[in-house]
Amino acid sequence: AAWERRAARALIALEGVDRAGKSTQGRRLVEALRAEGTRRPHLLFPADRTTEIGQLISSYLVREKNLEDHTIHLLFSANRWEHVPMMKEKLHQGVTIVVDRYAFSGVAFTSAKGNFCLDWCKQPDVGLPKPDLILFLQLSPEAAAERGNFGRERYETSSFQEKVLQSFYCLMEDKTLNWKKVDASKSIEDLHREIKSLAEETMQEVQNKPLGELWK
Ligand code: Z5A
Ligand code: MG
């Protein structure tokens, strides 16, 4: 079943390795769309650290709290689901939504832990609003390192990030999704221009098309 979407606007996800510039580009894209008069474009951050679930996730990431691996995976997914009624409502009203990381990060990070198959990792997010465009910001580990050293947060080690990248590559083989790889080593401005043009193309294409359900 597909959800109604009247004045169609797009759901755009930003994914990529650490420090690729997802948050920077998400902000820039929403600002640019707003400046051009697109109706109330909306930026969303799963992991949104403001809800109760988000706060649990945040304390896990900063190592204040230990959570069992399946548990944290389900919490990340729950954090996405708690935003779904609002997302559907906005998309239905014709509001474009940009998400800074989505289910793909969820799957990539948990499956990188080993002992998790991709299929198990995907299940909790099956049926989420399906992005019309997934931008994968590609950046070499060397270039990422130049943007500052890893902090103290969980997952911020290069061996783990390498496994995460391999999981992303598996997910990108899914041709039912509209993945677009972009070169994140470009300047912020050049990358912004490329992303904006891909986003606008997608917003044109999805006019009056129903919103899909992820991995269904
Ligand atoms: N996680 C998970 O396990 N499961 C899930 O379901 C989800 C997430 C959703 C926190 O996520 C952690 O949660 C993350 C994955 C896991 N773990 N790790 N590692 P997060 O999204 O909150 O992570 P973050 O702290 O925002 O980091 P980030 O997303 O990796 O960074 P970014 O957003 O891609 O980059 P940025 O903040 O825009 O830029 C980084 C720096 O580079 C900054 O100083 C910029 O000014 C600079 N920058 C940006 N673009 C450029 C260019 N083009 N040139 C030069 N310098 C640049
Ligand atoms: Mg970020």
Distance in Å, CA 23 to ligand 2 centroid: 4
Q: Which ligand is nearest to the CA of 49?
A: 1
What number of residues does the chain have? 216
What are 138's strand-pairing partners?
183
Q: Position of tokens 């969303």?
A: 44
Distance in Å, CA 19 to ligand 1 centroid: 4
What are 98's strand-pairing partners?
12, 43
Please indicate whether residue 20, judged by its CB atom, sits closer than 6 Å to ligand 1: yes
pLDDT in tens, the chain (216 residues): 454 444 448 999 999 989 999 999 999 999 998 888 766 778 876 566 789 999 999 999 999 999 999 999 999 999 999 999 999 999 988 889 999 999 999 999 999 998 999 999 999 999 999 999 999 999 988 898 889 877 888 998 888 999 999 999 999 999 999 999 999 999 999 999 999 999 999 998 998 788 999 999
Query: What's the confidence (pLDDT) of residue 6?
Result: 42
Query: What's the confidence (pLDDT) of residue 46?
Result: 58
Nearest CA to ligand 1 atom 44: 147
Query: What's the confidence (pLDDT) of residue 7?
Result: 45
Query: What's the confidence (pLDDT) of residue 4?
Result: 46
Q: Which ligand is nearest to the CA of 105?
A: 1
Query: What's the confidence (pLDDT) of residue 47?
Result: 61
Mutational pocket test of ligand 1: of 51, 79, 109, 189, the residue with most ligand atoms within 8 Å of the beta carbon: 109
Closest approach atom of ligand 1 to CA 45: 21
Distance in Å, CA 18 to ligand 2 centroid: 8
Please indicate whether residue 106, judged by its CB atom, sits closer than 6 Å to ligand 1: yes
pTM beyond 0.90: the answer is yes
Query: What's the confidence (pLDDT) of residue 44?
Result: 78
Query: What's the confidence (pLDDT) of residue 118?
Result: 96
Nearest CA to ligand 1 atom 41: 19
Nearest CA to ligand 1 atom 18: 155
Closest approach atom of ligand 1 to CA 47: 9
Please indicate whether residue 182, judged by its CB atom, sits closer than 6 Å to ligand 1: no
